[in-house]
A and B are shown apart, each in its own frame.
Chain A
């Protein structure tokens, strides 16, 4: 009995010490980590849109963030979209537009947020909760960036997460206004190195490039080796113009699975399929509602 107590006591103490060390490291490093992640996200977003530090985004372009929330009140559920108001660059505040599950407009509330504070999950949730009061469960679902140039939409940026072979795979997906794929970047994953982790490689990622929305709706994965000419084009081993020609030929083909990592390949392709289909459906409804209610948005 005494031995058991000693063991319990010592194990508890060891766990507490280990926990304290890990917790302290987390507190020390978390801020720097978030800064890094944000910087990386920004870089990825720019590179997906074809810009870099050498070739910066022009002034006329706007990145408008739309946050989707699920609002539960008793038995009924509505979807809330937090959208910016006014023209590009006017910073005219934000509005929370609620739409029910049938796609009909419910109501519209102004939220006290600025362009900076809207980025912080805590600030944003607090402001929305303050505007609505109690009795509602408001959960953040996802966020989308609508990119405009001179008031015209040029791209949509979606961040999404879906199950991979081991844990979740987080990606940022860029779509053009017709919902065809511009490109995607893997932000976070824990697939096996050498197998599933190959989803980060160009020869896999670029297969999705310029796939039309009609094809994405029925996108499948085939277990076949990638033809050599296609592989070279995807990896950028031949010059750009020729690579685009080759990629055009394969545009309506399915995705070639990664060797030894079919599950990861299927996870990514069906994840992208789901993300684009759902986004297209949701955005159509949101657009319809915004137009009917005459809500002025910058996108």
Chain B
């Protein structure tokens, strides 16, 4: 299956049309559980971006050698290997970054979005396309996490990036796990509404 999109379209695709959180509805656990602050979103987003790109390229490189019956275990192995390598290298050479990000890197192994992207894209497409798709998906996840984190941090703790902006805490509910579902659901609806709106306008209905 040849891919007809340009590199830019691949990146944009990951952020908009196929945003991992709002459109594909994958990796909802971290989206709901960890998105309590903007900073958490940024950290997890960067971690996912790196692992996604490395794993996509690896699988795209090795796609001809992977037996179709064991592809899923192979993907998991690849992700686990990259997570371990990134985790260990961060701990050894970037201790300051590790203190911030270490905890996020370790939980990535079980992320659905990465496995799914390897299965849907990297195992069929050439290396460059997989690389840009990985970047797009990683950025899409980052953007989604930051958007959710922004709403939850602002409404839950009245702050952005830890800086008090409102001066009071509007609703504690927003930093509790259950609020994650509400925020993600509402934003999903919002994304879909925009898409439908533009699709209609294109057809000249609205």
Contact = CB atoms under 8 A, between A and B. Distances in A.
Contact of B70 (A14, A40, A194): A14
Q: Is the interface of A mostly helix, strand, loop or mixed?
A: helix
B93 A259 contact: no
Contact of A14 (B40, B73, B91): B73
Given A18-B78, A36-B95, A193-B40, A26 B73 contact: no
Which bucket holds chain A's interface residue count? 20 to 34
B175 A260 contact: yes
B175 A25 contact: no
Given A25-B89, A190-B103, A193-B44, A14 B84 contact: no
A28 to B, nearest CB: 8
Interface in B60-93: 67, 69-70, 73-74, 77-78, 80-81, 84-85, 88-89, 91-93
A24 to B, nearest CB: 9
A29 B92 contact: yes
B178 to A, nearest CB: 10
A11 interface: yes
A7 interface: yes
A192 B33 contact: yes
Max count, chain A CB within 10 A of own CB: residue among B69, B104, B176 = B69
Given A21-B81, A33-B92, A259 B172 contact: yes
B106 interface: yes
B115 interface: no
B177 A260 contact: yes
Interface in A179-198: 189-195, 197
Contact of B175 (A21, A26, A190, A259): A259
Interface in A6-23: 6-7, 10-11, 14-15, 18, 21-22
B73 A29 contact: no
B36 interface: yes
A197 B43 CA distance: 14
A30 B87 CA distance: 12
A279 to B, nearest CB: 27
Max count, chain B CB within 10 A of own CB: residue among A25, A28, A189, A190 = A25
Given A7-B67, A25-B89, A195-B177, 7 more contacts: A14-B73, A14-B77, A25-B84, A29-B92, A33-B88, A193-B103, A195-B33
9 closest A-B pairs (Cβ-Cβ)?
A29-B92, A194-B36, A32-B92, A36-B95, A33-B92, A18-B81, A29-B88, A18-B77, A22-B84
